[in-house]
Amino acid sequence: MSVETDVIPLAKPVLGREEEDRVLEVLRSGHLSLGPRVPAFEQAFAERLGAAHASAVSSGTAGLHLALRAAGVSEGDEVVTSPFSFVASANAILYERATPVFADIDPVTLNIDPAAAATAITERTSALLPVHIFGYPADTPALERHGLPIVEDACEALGASHPDGVAVGGRGHPAVFAFYANKQITTGEGGLIALGDAAHKERIDSERNQGRAPDMGWLDHDRLGFNYRLSDIACALGLAQLGRLDQMLADRARVAAAYRTAFAADPVEDLTLPCEDHDGNVRGWFVFVVQLPHAVDRDETIRALAARGIQSKPYLPAIHLMSFYRERFGHREGQFPVCEDVAARSIALPFFPAMTEGQVARVTQELRGVLAGAPAA
């Protein structure tokens, strides 16, 4: 094998003629921003989820920031969230000078544990921010019982649904999706907030555009705002991607099933696979993350796989143990033991819709070889 010519990438978007045609149409129109593709993409996405409204923004991080503002989070507040996530979910809370209060995760779903979240709520808690990690639905119905505003980080969960059949993002809370190149659909960069409240949409649409209301002049602004807009080019790409979403979700599920079959044929002791759908929850497959055996050096495993032409990545670190959060809030090892154990052992394997069974077989074979200490071919 030549690593230079036969590397299996971690992720790979599905792009074709439809995407090219739609983007070229925008380019030729000369209307690249604040044009008709933005509301068209918002409407199509909201209809897909069964949401009343949607607001397209420049990134998932921007979406979390604006959603927290719309939910009323402000300086001095606390927001209960998961320590096992991409750091943006906690950072967005800090943007409003509020404090992220972490609660440990469920060892099976890897989402925030509702019981742990309940004990973390105080009189200063102004919102809850569950993360649908790796596309598996968080137990949002359990969190709803507290009667607090909820902002959902659904950036990894397009295509997921709850036991009642409601799509993740369709429960009426502000729910934020992201469209980076490894997500279920991509606009290159970009995000979207699904919404149930028309007043929230009005506020977010203004704040993403420097605080300008729809009926105001170009240089007239009546509130603090940001440059969080998403371009017509990106929304055109998103519309094309939505048109092939069902097939891409099916292909992702196929690849996940191929991984399960390959590992089942020759199990690796103490290797933990992503949980199966259960209790009526349906995952929207984003990544295929395994937890390595406890005695294994995760970073060395990643290096060894790279030498064999297999891309992989740690997924994800414990946020509270990052240097910034340690120094600012005094976090330490042992506070959230389930999260810390999972974070220390988790590794994302190559995963994308066009992945073949042969590639899956090669990844699993090479991983077994690395874990067994076998030399690279």
Look at residue 79 and give its three-state secondary structure: strand
| Terminal Cα distance for the chain, rounded | 7
Residue with tokens 């299996």: 8
Centroid of chain to Cα 228: 18
Residue with tokens 């607001």: 55
Residue with tokens 């069974």: 357
Sheet containing 99-102, strands listed edge to edge, beginning at the edge strand earlier in sequence: 99-102, 78-81, 125-129
Selected catalytic residue, list 12, 183, 201, 313: 183
Give the span between the Cα atoms of 363 and 204, in whole angstroms: 43
Q: How many helices (H) and strands (E) does the chain have?
A: 13, 10
Q: CA torsion, points 184, 185, 190, 192, in degrees to nearest 10? A: -80
User: For 71-225, where are the E strands, in sequence order?
Assistant: 78-81, 99-102, 125-129, 152-153, 175-178, 191-195
Residue 303 burial (C-beta neighbours within 10 Å; 0-12, 13-18, 19+): exposed
Give the span between the Cα atoms of 146 and 36, in whole angstroms: 39
For 114, the token pair is 């509702």
296: which DSSP letter? S
Catalytic site includes residue 183: yes
List 168's β-bridge partners, or say none. Answer: none
Give the span between the Cα atoms of 278 and 360, in whole angstroms: 24
For 326, the token pair is 């340690």
11 touches 352 (CB < 8 A): yes
Number of other residues whose CB lies within 10 A of the CB of residue 309? 20
Give the span between the Cα atoms of 189 and 233, in whole angstroms: 11
Catalytic site residues? 183
